[in-house]
Amino acid sequence: MAQSIHTFKVNGLDGGVIDFADFAGKKVLIVNVASACGYTPQYAQLQELYTHFGHKLVVAGFPCNDFGAQESGDAGEIRQFCALRYGVTFPLSEKVRIKGAEPHPVYAWLTQKTLNGHSDSSVSWNFQKYLINEAGQLQAVFPPSCDPLDPAVLAALEA
């Protein structure tokens, strides 16, 4: 059986640790985020999902500068931008690498079927979404252009 997302711990943007084991029993929507992207307004919808479905969903943002150098800020700048512009309260990891020979371990797991047991994928741009089920297994992948409140995402949250 594939490893579970619940085995991962990541450094948080604010210096703490995000332990995915704490999210067992909830769905998790993992999104690579950036502050200067055409999709950046999706932060508002991600926050809306987190607020509305918080009893059964965690949104986890992974700031990344790999796509168009659209997340050039440091941790303080990213946190301030997210809080002031979009009221973000969901967990944000430290800035990570997704592309290249050594992607962040969470993204290695998300994108390799041999690790996640679901499917191979590649992150095409900022705001690609990975939905993890309550048991910690990859359930669905949504492209960056798919709004967080798209009916397909909402249906997957209810599945």
DSSP 136: S
Could you give the 3-state DSSP secondary structure of residue 75? helix
Q: Is 37 a catalytic residue?
A: yes
Which among 125, 154, 153 is positioned nearest to 141, based on CA atoms? 153
Q: One-letter amino acid identity for 88?
A: V
DSSP 53: S
How many CB atoms lie under 10 A from the CB of residue 145?
13
DSSP string, 66-113: TTTT-----HHHHHHHHHHHH---S-BBPPB--SSSS--HHHHHHH-H
Question: Catalytic residue among 37, 64, 82, 146, which?
Answer: 37
β-sheet bridge partners, residue 92: 61
Catalytic annotation, residues = 37
